[in-house]
A and B are shown apart, each in its own frame.
Chain A
Amino acid sequence: MNFDLSPEQIMIRETVREFAEREVKPVAQELDEKSEFSYELTRKIGELGLFGMNIPEKFGGQGLDTLSYIIAVEEMARVDGSQAATLAAHNSLGIGPLLDYGTEEQKLKYLPSLCTGTGLWSFGLTEPGAGSDSRGSKTTAVLDGDEWVINGSKIFITNASVDISLGCTVQAVSGEQNGNKIFTTIIVEKDTPGFRRVPMHNKMMWRASDTAELFFDDVRVPKANLLGKVGDGSHIMLHTLDGGRLSIGAMGLGLAQGAFEMALAYANERQQFGKPIAKFQINAFKLADMALKVELARNLLYKACWLKDEHRPYSKEAAMAKLYCSEVAKEVADEAVQIHGGYGLMKDYAIERFYRDQRLLQIGEGTSEIQRMVISRLIGC
Chain B
Amino acid sequence: MKILVLISNVPDTTTKIRFKSDNTAFDDAGVQWIINPWDELALTRAVELKETGGVSLITVANVGNASTEPTLRKALAVGADDAIRIDVEARDAFEVATQLASVAKDYDLIMAGIEASDYNGSAVGGMLAELLDIASVSSVSGINIENGQLLFNREIDGGSQVLSVTTPVVAIVQKGIAKEPRIPAMRGIMMARKKELKVTAPVSAEDRTSFVRFELPPKKAACKMVAEDNAKELVRLLHEEAKVL
Contact = CB atoms under 8 A, between A and B. Distances in A.
A14 B183 CA distance: 10
B190 A8 contact: yes
B186 interface: yes
Contacts of B192: 8, 11
A53 B187 CA distance: 9
A7 B190 CA distance: 10
B154 interface: no
Best-surrounded residue of B183, B186, B192 (most CB of chain A within 10 A): B186
Q: Is the interface of B mostly helix, strand, loop or mixed?
A: helix
Interface string A290-301: 000000000000
A48 B77 CA distance: 12
Nearest to A46: B185
A12 B189 contact: yes
Best-surrounded residue of A7, A18, A19 (most CB of chain B within 10 A): A7
Q: Is the interface of A mostly helix, strand, loop or mixed?
A: helix
A62 interface: yes
Contacts of B85: none
Contacts of B184: 11, 15
Interface in A33-62: 47-50, 53, 62
A15 B193 contact: no
Contacts of A62: 186-187, 190
B73 interface: yes
Contact of A50 (B73, B186, B190, B193): B186
A131 to B, nearest CB: 34
B73 A7 contact: yes
A363 interface: no
B53 interface: no
Contacts of B73: 7, 11
A8 B193 contact: yes
Contact of A15 (B70, B180, B183): B183
Nearest to B78: A15
B185 A49 contact: yes
Contact of A48 (B70, B183, B190, B193): B183
A50 B183 CA distance: 13
A63 B190 contact: yes
Interface string A2-17: 0000011011101100
Nearest to A61: B186
A47 B180 CA distance: 16
Given A15-B189, A63-B190, A64-B190, A10 B70 contact: yes
A22 interface: yes
A173 to B, nearest CB: 39
Nearest to B181: A18
Contacts of A7: 70, 73, 193
A16 to B, nearest CB: 9
Question: In which size bucket is the chain B interface?
Answer: 10 to 19
Contacts of A49: 185-187
Contacts of A53: 186
Nearest to B186: A49
B185 A11 contact: no
A124 to B, nearest CB: 28
A236 B136 CA distance: 63
A6 to B, nearest CB: 9
B68 to A, nearest CB: 13
B74 interface: yes
A53 B185 CA distance: 11
A55 to B, nearest CB: 11
Contacts of B185: 47-49
A54 B34 CA distance: 27
Contacts of B193: 7-8
Contacts of B187: 49, 62
A294 to B, nearest CB: 18
B74 to A, nearest CB: 6
Contacts of A8: 189-190, 192-193
A357 B190 CA distance: 32
Best-surrounded residue of B77, B183, B184, B185 (most CB of chain A within 10 A): B183
A47 to B, nearest CB: 7
B183 A12 contact: no
A22 B190 CA distance: 22
A12 B186 contact: yes
Best-surrounded residue of B73, B187, B189, B192 (most CB of chain A within 10 A): B189
B202 to A, nearest CB: 24
B196 to A, nearest CB: 15
B186 A18 contact: no
Interface of B: 70, 73-74, 77, 180, 183-187, 189-190, 192-193
**3 tightest CB-CB pairs across the interface, nearest first?**
A49-B186, A62-B186, A49-B185
Interface of A: 7-8, 10-12, 14-15, 18-19, 22, 47-50, 53, 62-64
12 contacts: A7-B70, A8-B192, A10-B70, A11-B73, A11-B77, A11-B184, A15-B77, A15-B183, A15-B184, A19-B183, A48-B185, A49-B186
Given A14-B74, A15-B186, A49-B187, 14 more contacts: A7-B193, A8-B189, A8-B193, A11-B73, A15-B77, A15-B183, A19-B183, A48-B183, A48-B186, A50-B186, A62-B186, A62-B190, A63-B190, A64-B186
